[in-house]
Amino acid sequence: MKNKQRISELINNYKNGYSLEQCFYKSQDIYDHEINKIFHKNWILAGHISQIPNIGDYFLFEFDKESIIINRNKDNKVKAHINVCRHRGSHICVEKQGHVKAFTCPYHAWSYDLDGSLIAARLMGEDFDKSQNGLHPAHVELVGGLIFISLAANPLSLTKMNEDLADTFDLYGFSHMKLVKQKTYSIAANWKLALENYQECYHCTPSHKEYAKIHALALSPNKFNQHKERYKKEASGIVRTEPSDAYFDLADEGQEGYQYDRHPLLKNMKSGSLGGKPVSRLLGKLTEYDGGSSEFMVGPVSFFLIYDDYMVGYRFLPTSVDNCICDVFWFVGDAAVENKDYELDKLIWLWDVTTKADEEIIVNNRKGVNSKFYKPGKLSEMETFQQHFLNWYLNTLSAD
């Protein structure tokens, strides 16, 4: 960052309860800072084990300037390494996914085993130490079948979340899901404008009529609370409704932020689908639809929405200061059979139509934020989750 002091001033001048100043969405310096302090530090959803069922399978997880190889090694473990040859820096894997016996760089044929160790490099002279030239590893953690990676030297801990939510993961069968669809939405706006959009439902009624017909969360806090009371009376078990708010500025020191909460759908709605009808088999150990859906978040950019019969994953990644992508993942129980238990177009309908609408909304937001006349505006009573994000974000930027 060229001007640390200027950033500090901006952060100190932030007015609580308001949106951010323009430069947070436009400055290349701030963007570079974010990449280092957030995207090279926090845990990010990389994908799902069903993408690499066999030893030797791999896929690439890419954002900003990074490409990370996620693979299954000979011990059947999931591994992650930076896709950069230690010789002259070429990408080693050039296909987005594949199956290999070893990772051989297409440029000069340096070859690495499935654990990233350099196993062959021609004509390197006698003083060359292969053991010092393995691929740079990334940290991997599995949450059920979800693969998270961290590029930090010393990642935040996921221990508290894993203990806290063990029963939840078990109930919804996090280890017994499969990924049935992934879709990438390109958004011509700074990643935070996309993330802030995801974090509040103040816009749901004006912008997402499909969502608003299913979810009580689109309603005002008063009306939402009435639905919550109704739902709590009707719903089946304590584990499904107990919130775990350890997200953003509420996270413990040294622990990655996370959140779990369960919210009511509107009356008679069973799933996130047209008419609220079931669209797949019940997940995990569930035995009935209870009329709710769960929000689950791990780290700052990975979000999940768990219906009783399917789960949607949301991941926000920057590609430049002015562009980002939103990847959406659809999961069903691994016993569900396509065209018998679920139809793909019905399964993805709600969050495809909703994300497409958000693409437009977020770009319109960006256009106005770029104006010299834009000033931070006051947040509403339905933007408190976003406020937690902003507090954490500014804190994170100002940390050494």
**Which parts of this chain interact with a second copy (CB under 8 A)?**
19, 35-36, 40, 65-67, 82-92, 94, 105-109, 121-125, 128, 133, 136, 196, 202-203, 205-207, 220-221, 360-361, 364-365, 367-375, 377-382
Tokens representing 305? 């929405």
Minimum separation from the CB atom of position 22 to a second copy (A): 8
319 φ, ψ to 5°?
A: -115, -25
Tell me whether residue 36 or residue 225 sits nearer to a second copy (CB atom): 36
Tell me whether residue 203 or residue 315 sits nearer to a second copy (CB atom): 203
Minimum separation from the CB atom of position 72 to a second copy (A): 22
Tell me whether residue 19 or residue 294 sits nearer to a second copy (CB atom): 19
- Confirm if 230 and 239 have CB atoms less than 8 A apart: no
Minimum separation from the CB atom of position 184 to a second copy (A): 18
297 φ, ψ to 5°?
A: -135, 140
Tell me whether residue 22 or residue 236 sits nearer to a second copy (CB atom): 22
Q: What is the C-alpha to C-alpha distance for residues 391 and 388, in angstroms, rounded to an integer?
A: 5
Minimum separation from the CB atom of position 352 to a second copy (A): 19
Tell me whether residue 2 or residue 233 sits nearer to a second copy (CB atom): 2
* C-beta atoms surrounding 150 within 10 Å: 23
Tokens representing 109? 């044929």
Angle at which helices 384-398 and 191-198 cross, to 10° = 140
- Confirm if 296 and 149 have CB atoms less than 8 A apart: no
Minimum separation from the CB atom of position 199 to a second copy (A): 12
Tell me whether residue 271 or residue 365 sits nearer to a second copy (CB atom): 365
Tell me whether residue 106 or residue 237 sits nearer to a second copy (CB atom): 106
Residue type at 107 in one-letter notation: Y
Minimum separation from the CB atom of position 76 to a second copy (A): 26
Q: In what order do the strands lie in the sheet with 311-320?
A: 177-187, 323-333, 311-320, 302-306, 292-298, 258-264, 244-246
Tell me whether residue 109 or residue 337 sits nearer to a second copy (CB atom): 109
228 φ, ψ to 5°?
A: -65, -45
Minimum separation from the CB atom of position 393 to a second copy (A): 15
* C-beta atoms surrounding 137 within 10 Å: 15
Minimum separation from the CB atom of position 19 to a second copy (A): 5
Tokens representing 313? 């994953």
Instruction: List the one residue out of 323, 348, 360 whose CA is nearest residue 203.
Output: 360
Q: Give 396: exposed, middle or buried? Use CB within 10 Å, 0-12, 13-18, 19+.
A: middle
